[in-house]
Amino acid sequence: MVIATGKSQRQVGAMAEYVEKALKQAGQKVTTEGMPQCDWVLVDAGDIIVHLFRPEVRTFYNLEKMWGALEAKADAPTASAVRAKAIEQG
C-alpha cells in the first residue's frame, strides 16, 4: 500500500493518471475511484493499492493510524473496505 499527498485536486488527479498509466504499462489490471473530485483517489491494482490525498483529506482520514491498529489482526480488511468504512465514519 502506498499513501501520498498532492497539494491540490489538480495535482492529485495528475498523480493518479500517472500511476494508473505506469501500472497498466507494467501489465497490471487497474481500477480507479475518486477521480471526479480528486480529494482522495484510490488506484487499485490488486496487490498494489495507491491512496492519493489532498493534505486536509489525508489528515482527516488518517489511514496510517487505521492500518497501524489493523496490523495486529490476521484478518485485516481490504483497502476498499477500509476506504468504505472511513467514508461512512466521515
Give me the helix-helix angle, 63-70 and 79-89, nearest 10°.
120
Q: For residue 2, which amino acid is it?
A: V
Q: What does the pLDDT read at residue 50? A: 96
Q: What does the pLDDT read at residue 63? A: 87
In this structure, what DSSP letter does residue 8 have? Answer: S
Kindly report the pTM of this predicted structure: 0.73
Higher pLDDT, 32 or 83: 32
pLDDT-based confidence at 66, cuts 50/70/90? Answer: confident
Report helix, strand and coil shares of the chain as percent, to nearest 5.
Answer: 50, 20, 35
Bridge partners of residue 33, in order along the sequence = 42
Neighbour-count burial for 28-47, b at 16+ CB within 10 Å, e otherwise: eebebebeeebbbbbbbbee
2-89: what fold? Beta Polymerase; domain 2 (3.30.460)
Sheet holding 49-53, edge to edge: 2-5, 49-53, 40-44, 31-33
Domain ranges of the chain: 2-89
Q: What does the pLDDT read at residue 72? A: 46
What mean pLDDT is predicted for residues 62-88?
63
